[in-house]
């Protein structure tokens, strides 16, 4: 009896002992489920900040440092471009593994480590010339060090931080996903459009080395702590549901609609309702009952299953082609503008009107994505890409200039929404990291090839038109394939 009593007391003490929380617990340092409003709105804000913080690893963030690097390293423009391409392509090989890390560790850990690594890589780039001089191997060491530095910022910035932030936003919304991605896209597009001038101002005030130190400090001391404080991988780990809706009307993380809890017996596949096991996860009283979700997710696809579908490759190649064109255009902006009859200020100033057009089409694309099949968004994006390139080929001229602006602005608006909506709607959220990693890998490869394609075109034909026509032909093919790009969820029973 005494032994039983002692055992009972020990069990009671164990049961009442407070559970030790990890620094990475979803409810530390605060519980998102106890916020007076849906925590997903915070996710939209901080996720957008995460994408914006990838600017130092994006082409528009690197291009403003090109001239100072050429002078400091003493290498040719072709050698620097080659180092940039090799570093970018090398980072693409790791993006699928990065996506798996996101699936395994979640958005919070992955974003923290990516931000810290981005800051370290920026510091490394800021001392490239000193390291090259110390090695005493001339241009060879400069090239190798530049490849390592470009690989670092492209993988951590353009790749991981962008992918993590965008995937996280997608996991928190279903019914409003298109609208939410359009809001995020507007802010991101505006910040991207003013980034070259902002970074140029930093270089003018603090020098190219000081500018990279400042960006590194922001990544390490601001972005990494912000990610730890606010990033949460999905609403379910916080006891919430997508869109902040009631559990009865919202799919869970596995994509199953929780009309009522279900249990499967060991010897039977027949499901029976279990009212006693109703989902008790939190929702906010201010949230009204949602409308029926139009695009039901019937099951989650693994990455190998996803890449066997036509829809994946059509949308994957479509957004990658846009990345190729945008990177090539940005990298050669002054030369392309000069061929089109624009001076330097006009060429650099073209980003702002494109961003203005992007804002309107971002909202349009978000509205359409919540109401129509994805293939119609792809068709629209392909159409506007072709129109924009047609405007470039028709330059100079005021009408052609506006066709160029509207075409690329509209395509960018559809791109920003499509890349955030397509993968979770077609393949679910459980393997979203790896699937997004494959897409990001394709985009990284294409962004590496874009500047080279335009360089080859200009070198052998003395014009960029051959490169533009090649991209236009690829866009036409993808535009037509979009008509057959059916969401694989529609074939599930």
- Show the domains of the chain with their CATH numbers: 37-237+299-486 (1.20.1250.20)
The pLDDT of residue 196: 80
Place of tokens 């003395």: 462
Quick one: DSSP state of residue 247?
A: G
Q: Where are the alpha helices (DSSP H) in 53-176?
A: 59-63, 66-73, 77-93, 95-126, 128-135, 139-153, 162-172
**CB proximity list for 45: less than 8 A, separation 6 or greater:** none
Confidence (pTM): 0.73
The pLDDT of residue 287: 43
Angstrom distances, CA of residue 234 to CA of 106, 164, 429: 8, 12, 9
Closest alpha carbon to 203 in 69, 52, 82: 69
Q: What are the tokens at 430? A: 């459980």
Contact 220, 56 (CB under 8 A): no
Q: Where are the alpha helices (DSSP H) in 272-309?
A: 303-306
The pLDDT of residue 493: 63
Contact 281, 287 (CB under 8 A): no
The separation between CA 19 and the C-alpha centre of its own chain, rounded to angstroms, equals: 36
Neighbours of 306 (CB within 10 A): 24
Phi, then psi, of 262 in degrees rounded to 5: -130, 145
* Gyration radius of the chain over CA positions: 25
Q: pLDDT tens string for the chain (493 positions)?
A: 444 444 444 444 444 444 456 788 888 888 888 888 889 899 999 999 999 999 998 887 887 888 788 888 888 777 887 888 888 888 888 888 888 888 888 899 999 999 999 999 999 999 888 887 776 666 778 888 889 999 999 999 888 999 899 889 988 887 777 778 778 888 887 888 788 878 888 888 898 899 999 999 999 999 999 999 999 988 888 888 877 765 544 444 444 444 333 332 333 333 333 333 334 444 444 344 444 445 666 788 888 888 899 999 999 999 999 988 888 887 777 777 777 777 767 776 777 788 888 888 888 888 888 788 888 989 999 999 999 888 888 877 778 888 888 998 899 889 888 887 888 888 887 888 888 888 888 888 888 788 778 878 877 887 888 888 999 999 999 999 999 988 888 776 6
Length, in residues, of the chain: 493
Rounded to whole angstroms, the Cα distance separating 152 from 206 reads 23
Closest alpha carbon to 107 in 230, 4, 280: 230
The dihedral formed by the CA atoms of 111, 113, 117 and 120, expressed in degrees to the nearest 10: 110
């Amino acid at each position: 009896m005494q032994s039983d009593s002692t055992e009972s007391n020990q069990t009671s003490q164990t049961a009442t002992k407070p559970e030790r929380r990890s620094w990475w617990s979803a409810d530390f340092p605060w519980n998102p489920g106890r916020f007076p409003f849906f925590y997903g709105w915070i996710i939209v804000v901080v996720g957008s900040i995460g994408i914006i913080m990838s600017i130092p690893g994006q082409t528009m963030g690197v291009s403003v440092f090109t001239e100072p690097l050429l002078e400091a390293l003493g290498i040719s423009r072709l050698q620097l471009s080659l180092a940039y391409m090799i570093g970018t392509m090398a980072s693409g090989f790791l993006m699928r593994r990065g996506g798996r890390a996101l699936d395994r560790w979640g958005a919070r850990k992955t974003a923290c480590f990516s931000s810290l690594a981005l800051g370290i890589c920026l510091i490394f780039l800021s001392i490239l010339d000193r390291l090259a001089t110390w090695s005493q191997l001339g241009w060879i060491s400069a090239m190798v060090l530049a490849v390592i530095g470009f690989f670092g910022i492209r993988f951590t910035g353009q790749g991981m931080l962008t992918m993590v932030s965008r995937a996280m936003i997608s996991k928190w919304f279903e019914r409003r996903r298109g609208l939410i991605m359009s809001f995020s896209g507007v802010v991101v597009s505006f910040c991207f459009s003013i980034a070259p001038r902002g970074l140029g101002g930093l270089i003018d005030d603090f020098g190219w080395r000081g500018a990279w130190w400042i960006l590194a400090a922001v990544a390490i001391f601001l972005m990494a702590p912000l990610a730890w404080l606010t990033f949460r991988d999905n609403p379910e780990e916080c006891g919430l549901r997508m869109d902040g809706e009631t559990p009865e009307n919202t799919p869970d993380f596995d994509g199953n609609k929780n009309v009522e809890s279900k249990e499967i017996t060991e010897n039977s596949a027949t499901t029976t309702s279990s009212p006693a096991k109703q989902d008790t996860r939190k929702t906010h009283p201010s949230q009204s009952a949602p409308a029926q979700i139009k695009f039901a997710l019937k099951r989650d696809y693994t990455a190998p299953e996803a890449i066997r579908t036509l829809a994946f490759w059509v949308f994957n190649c479509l957004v990658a082609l846009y990345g190729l064109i945008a990177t090539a255009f940005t990298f050669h902006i002054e030369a392309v503008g000069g061929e089109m009859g624009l001076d330097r200020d006009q060429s650099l100033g073209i980003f702002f009107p494109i961003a203005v057009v992007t804002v309107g089409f971002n909202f349009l694309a978000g509205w359409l994505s919540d109401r129509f099949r994805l293939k119609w968004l792809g068709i629209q994006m392909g159409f506007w890409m072709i129109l924009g390139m047609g405007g470039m080929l028709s330059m100079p001229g005021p009408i052609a200039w506006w066709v160029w602006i509207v075409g690329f602005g509209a395509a960018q608006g559809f791109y920003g929404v499509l890349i955030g909506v397509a993968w979770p709607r077609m393949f679910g959220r459980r393997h979203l990291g790896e699937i997004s990693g494959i897409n990001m890998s394709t985009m990284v490869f294409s962004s590496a090839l874009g500047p080279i394609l335009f360089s080859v075109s200009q070198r052998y034909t003395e014009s960029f038109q051959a490169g533009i026509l090649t991209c236009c032909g690829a866009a036409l093919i993808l535009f037509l394939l979009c008509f057959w790009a059916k969401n694989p969820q529609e074939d599930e029973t």
